[in-house]
Structure 1
Amino acid sequence: MNMAFNEETFRGDFTFRNSPESVRRFPYPFEEDEYMYSVNIEQHTPGAPGSVFEHPIDVDEHYVAECKERAIVLSEDHTRCVALPHMMDAQWDTLELVMTSLSESYPSEFQLTIDGDNWHWVNKPLGIEDRFVFGDVSTLPMEPFEYVMRQVQGDWVIMDQRDNDLYADLGMVTGQADWSVAFDAGMSFKEWHAPVPHAPEMGIFDRALKYLLHLQYGSPVRRTNWRMCVNPRLDTSSETYDVWGTDNVSATKENAGDKVFLRVELQALFRLPRSNAIAFSIRTYMVSLADLATYPRWAKRLNRVLRSLHPDLAEYKGLNSFKQPVLDWLEPLDDGAFLEKGTHPE
């Protein structure tokens, strides 16, 4: 059965919308009424059918629109794609990871035929069909990493492992939450994550780095991270703050339900076979407060998380300019009843 894809935009008139099915499968990140930054890593094993965890790389109703948005961003600023020269093996590794995953998970939409080094790739949703020689850049219309990244949802950073550290040496990032891949290119793991408040002194990234350095091929892991945004804009990079920064002061108690979105990143990490690099995928899902409130426990828990959030974390996540209108909108939905630990919408 073929998947239905939305016609929508993430800028201008903001026609992005979630179907009821998309809301239900939203990776709601809070299991408790309070939040503190943590590693929260688990094995990236297949989840329930229909969930965002069912397949290693998720494809949903927003796929075509997100790929079009990526093309727009790259046409405006190609520095969102960074590829240091020594990462060519990692480029081919990433292409293989994406193509094999999509073709195995969604065979009606993506087909991959391999005959030795001769590959035949078909992407039906985007109308792409190419034959190329694996390992030969000249047989593709562009370098392998950019080619395949234009056909997958989410941002990707490929970290080279050397000197007992990880370095962000390859990436395509067009939908990031207020950071810059061009600025972070070549940074070590701790340098890249240094802005997270209180995490360094808690040793969170020391433990995370130690864990990831021992990540095994064939045993990917995942975690979630979250933010909020005003308007369903994917590209909230540091470079475009002048475009989206004013959005944050436009939220009011009256319009917050439709205008403010919970933005959750499903982050997966895969060890790559040839390069020994680690692919870090950052897939962003957005849901409006109004849609989130169709599951009352989600709205109640978000209200409690935001009210108890440490001020430093609220500032780091960029919430301060619209946090109060959000709380004013959520408060009437919280009846004070006890909520058990968990994220299920029922």
Structure 2
Amino acid sequence: MSLDVEYAFDEFFRDETFVDDFTYRNSPAAIRRFPFPFDRDDYMYSVNMEPHVPGRKGSVFEKTFDVDEHYVSEMRDRARILAKDPLRCQSLPHMTLAGWDLLELIMESKAREYPQWFSLTKNGDRWRWINRPLGIDHSFTFLDETTLPCGPMEYITRQTQGDFTLQDEREGTLWVDAGMVTTQADWSLDFDIGMNFHEWHAPVPLAHEKGIFDRALKFLLKLQHGAPVRRFNWTMTVNPLLDTAPETYPEWGYMRTTLNQENMGHMMHLRVELQALFRLPRSNAIAFSIRAYLGKFEELVTVPKWGRRLHRVVRDIHPDLAAYKGFLRNRDAMAEWLSSYDDGAPTSPGWWPED
């Protein structure tokens, strides 16, 4: 099945917000291509890695870095957050080369896969980058920071949806030594920067006792250039908040207390992260992209299969995982609201919408 989703250029200029009046919404096409994360009726934390190769046409897996109808709005929101808190973007001095690696990866991918919106022209080390949705036309010298308005990682991630960390490999593990993080689900780059793989994953319940992260690290240390991998992660968010950082908790934490059966469908959002990992060629660092998608409950239940399955996952999830993902307080109310969309019928395997 092909999702056959195409976007008109002016869709990128939708004026929507992720704060205050919360005008964010998904078009019918965006709902249909939403990366619903549950391929069965129950959930347990797992690594769930697979090769990051082109997926079916129109899906969020089709291109290396998905660009969708929320692009310009998300980039405006990133600029807003960075203006308030510049520490959301940090890079330790030894990670500059990795930043150039990431810039090259993103520019080449977008120019190749979205030629109607992005262009990259190379003349030796003199490059010209055109980003039509954001109105950018900039020439620079590759590997020369003085020819960019900021560091290479910051420059390109100000133009790319999703968060990024750059992980240095040393001492038999990975270290978070750079990142652009403005759309995180209740974690802090400023707190985690400089931590190793097991340290920054320490808060995840149940997974450590099963050895999941030991196996994941072993797998990632063998990651090869040109063979990226991806996985899903998910949580729940009240209101379409991309930025749920600990630093801004006073601004959004109280929202969890405002849910009821009347506003549940509009306010509660399933937040899905499509995470991809790339071995970078010059620095040998690993780039970790974390692209977040938000779907209102009332949008998701328009796909009957998803409505049934979401009810069963929320109803039956282990309490520790519900607490870690931030919705234990509201789990019973969420399950009650979703129950009216569960007719008890079996659901087909996989996460794609039914025809």
Give the TM-score normalised by structure 2: 0.96
Alignment partner of 2:165 out of 157, 174, 183: 157
Are 1:2 and 1:108, in contact at CA under 8 Å, matched by a contact in 2?
no
Q: CA deviation at 1:165?
A: 0.4
Q: Any residues of structure 2 matched to 1:41-60 within 5 Å, and which? A: 41-60=49-68
The one-letter amino acid of 2:62's match is: E
d(CA) in 2 for partners of 1:136 and 1:337?
60
2:322 is the alignment partner of 1:317: no
d(CA) in 2 for partners of 1:59 and 1:198?
34
In structure 1, stretches of 5+ residues that fail to align are: none
2:238 is the alignment partner of 1:193: no
Match of 2:293 in 1: 285
Alignment partner of 2:118 out of 110, 118, 131: 110
The one-letter amino acid of 2:272's match is: V
Aligned to 1:247, the other structure's residue is in SS state helix
d(CA) in 1 for partners of 2:92 and 2:201?
20
Q: Which whole-Å deviations, capped at 9, do the CAs of 1:61-85 have from their partners, x for residues lacking one? A: 0000000000000000000001000
Aligned to 2:234, the other structure's residue is in SS state strand
Alignment partner of 1:38 out of 36, 46, 67: 46
Q: CA deviation at 1:283?
A: 0.1
Q: CA deviation at 1:2?
A: 5.0
d(CA) in 2 for partners of 1:276 and 1:268?
16
Number of aligned pairs? 346
Match of 1:221 in 2: 229
Alignment partner of 2:181 out of 161, 169, 173: 173
Are 1:46 and 1:53, in contact at CA under 8 Å, matched by a contact in 2?
yes
Match of 2:271 in 1: 263
Alignment partner of 1:332 out of 334, 340, 343: 340
In structure 2, stretches of 5+ residues that fail to align are: 1-6
The one-letter amino acid of 2:170's match is: R
Give the TM-score normalised by structure 1: 0.99
The one-letter amino acid of 2:167's match is: M
Are 2:183 and 2:242, in contact at CA under 8 Å, matched by a contact in 1?
yes
Identity %: 57
Alignment partner of 1:101 out of 97, 109, 134: 109
Please provide the CA RMSD for this pair. 0.9
Are 2:47 and 2:212, in contact at CA under 8 Å, matched by a contact in 1?
yes
Q: Which whole-Å deviations, capped at 9, do the CAs of 1:141-173 have from their partners, x for residues lacking one? A: 111111111000000001001111000001000
Q: CA deviation at 1:345?
A: 1.2
Aligned to 2:340, the other structure's residue is in SS state helix
Alignment partner of 1:296 out of 293, 299, 304: 304
The one-letter amino acid of 2:345's match is: A
2:213 is the alignment partner of 1:183: no
Q: Which whole-Å deviations, capped at 9, do the CAs of 1:194-233 have from their partners, x for residues lacking one? A: 1100111100000000000000000000000000111001
The one-letter amino acid of 2:69's match is: E
Are 1:2 and 1:109, in contact at CA under 8 Å, matched by a contact in 2?
no
The one-letter amino acid of 2:279's match is: R
Q: Which whole-Å deviations, capped at 9, do the CAs of 1:259-290 have from their partners, x for residues lacking one? A: 10000000000010000000000000011001
Are 1:254 and 1:329, in contact at CA under 8 Å, matched by a contact in 2?
no
Deviates more, 1:55-64 or 1:2-11: 2-11
Q: CA deviation at 1:118?
A: 0.2
Are 1:57 and 1:102, in contact at CA under 8 Å, matched by a contact in 2?
yes
